[in-house]
Amino acid sequence: MEFIVVVIGFIMIVVGACYGQKYRLKEVTWNEHECALTRATWMNTLKNNRIFREQLRNEISCFNKLCHILQTKGGLKTTRNVTVKEIVALFLHILAQDLKNRTIQAIFARSGESVSRQFHIVLRSILKIGKYYIKQVDQTTSFAEDNKQKWFEGVVGALDGKHIKMTVPIEDPPRYRDRKGDLSTNVLAACDSNLRFTYVLPDWEGSALDPRVLRDALRRPNGLKLQRNKYFLVDLGFSNCEGFLSPYKGTRYHFNLWRGNTPTNYMELFNLRHSSARNTSERAFGLLKKRWSILRDPSFFWEKDSN
């Protein structure tokens, strides 16, 4: 009886395999000629200046210079299957439009593995050229002529922590969940009155408080440097101490709360001027997120081994 059952089972498996081989839907195979035509068509649309700015948030001349720099200094190379301009365009398109891997597959007619690999190749090249263009800021610059900064003698900029939503590995959500319940990374950044970032420290979990991130920035060998008689403007999330000036507690502070209102005492006047000067941090991050949509959407993925 057992032998009969085994024989019948074997016959059913063979019949099922034959049926499936004959009648199941065949997967659509990649036609390399059609894929190359799709990529070429999309790249040709970028010859229009308006479309180029909309899709890649850049000018054509700047894009060509970037490709040249990535080749000469970043080690980016053209291969048999892909050109430098194509993968740089892919990289910028993902950052500017915050597109998923599957969407990029359809646009560039590439597999998901190729899209991910090429994105990280360009990212590593970008990191290599950082040392040529990221320079130490001269903190001796005076902002006495700035209407918002002139009230604070010795100020070198505004310092703040920003939470950027992201997707994390399945085992890490508790560490990256911030006070609002979102998954994010806490980025500490300083900027001057010209909206230029003078210091950035990424890679901290969203659950980390701003003072903890600041302590880490001050302890690092290449971290945040403080000069004598100089200071940053900070919000109430930081301590009011040497090198950092925070507003008065328990007093109206945020800039939008002053619309239609005027200060009634010296503390409110101080907070109003403090908020106006420190607002450069909010504006700098706002411009950055407006240009690169990936920074304001949870699809931003932070790798644990990134630097």
Segment 225-249, tens digit of pLDDT: 888 888 999 988 888 888 899 999 8
- Mark whether 178 and 103 lie in a shared domain: no
Is position 25 within any domain? Answer: no
Contact 183, 205 (CB under 8 A): no
Terminal CA-to-CA distance of the chain, rounded, Å?
A: 65
Tokens of 229: 């008689």
Is position 204 within any domain? Answer: yes
- Mark whether 246 and 176 lie in a shared domain: yes
Each residue's pLDDT tens digit, 141-166: 555 556 677 788 888 889 998 888 88
Judged by DSSP in three states, 100 sits in coil
* Separation in Å, CA 287 to CA 130, 148, 281, 293, 299: 21, 19, 10, 10, 19
DSSP 8-class letter at 143: -
Residue 273: Cβ within 10 Å count: 18
- Mark whether 166 and 210 lie in a shared domain: yes
Is position 138 within any domain? Answer: no
* Separation in Å, CA 249 to CA 108, 158, 238, 239, 267: 53, 18, 12, 11, 9
CA pair distance 202, 217, nearest whole angstrom: 10
- Residue 19: pLDDT band (50, 70, 90) is low
Output 125 or 14, whichever has higher pLDDT.
Answer: 125
- In sign, the C-alpha dihedral spanning 99, 103, 107, 113 is positive
Structural domain count of the chain:
2
pLDDT at 105: 87
**φ, ψ for residue 228, nearest 5 deg:** -65, 135
CA pair distance 152, 167, nearest whole angstrom: 40
Tokens of 253: 């502070």
Output 264 or 297, whichever has higher pLDDT.
Answer: 264
Find where tokens 């398109």 sit: 93
Sheet holding 231-233, edge to edge: 197-205, 184-191, 155-165, 231-233, 244-245
pLDDT at 21: 61
Does residue 301 have a pLDDT over 80? no
Residue that terminates a domain, selected from 133, 164, 181? 133
* Separation in Å, CA 32 to CA 1, 81, 187: 54, 10, 42
Output 13 or 112, whichever has higher pLDDT.
Answer: 112
* Separation in Å, CA 136 to CA 41, 106, 196, 210, 236: 42, 42, 12, 23, 27
pLDDT at 126: 92
**What is the four-CA torsion angle of 14, 17, 18, 23, rounded to 10 degrees?**
160
Each residue's pLDDT tens digit, 21-79: 655 544 445 577 788 888 888 888 888 889 999 899 889 999 999 999 999 999 998 88
Domain range for 99: 32-133
- Mark whether 184 and 110 lie in a shared domain: no
pLDDT at 138: 62
Each residue's pLDDT tens digit, 89-140: 999 999 998 888 888 888 888 888 889 999 999 999 998 998 888 776 665 5
Judged by DSSP in three states, 138 sits in coil
Is position 200 within any domain? Answer: yes
Is position 9 within any domain? Answer: no
Each residue's pLDDT tens digit, 168-177: 888 788 888 8
Tokens of 207: 């659950």
Residue 307: Cβ within 10 Å count: 6
- Mark whether 110 and 213 lie in a shared domain: no
Each residue's pLDDT tens digit, 271-283: 888 888 888 888 8
Is position 21 within any domain? Answer: no
Find where tokens 């059913």 sit: 12
Q: Which pTM was predicted?
A: 0.72
Residue that terminates a domain, selected from 133, 164, 199? 133
| Alpha carbon 198 to its chain's center | 17
CA pair distance 118, 124, nearest whole angstrom: 10
Rounded to the nearest integer, the mean pLDDT of the chain is 82
CA pair distance 234, 239, nearest whole angstrom: 8
Residue that terminates a domain, selected from 133, 167, 190? 133
- Mark whether 178 and 242 lie in a shared domain: yes
pLDDT at 67: 93
- Mark whether 66 and 123 lie in a shared domain: yes
- Mark whether 292 and 166 lie in a shared domain: yes
Cβ partners under 8 Å of residue 112, min gap 6: 101, 102, 105
- Mark whether 121 and 165 lie in a shared domain: no
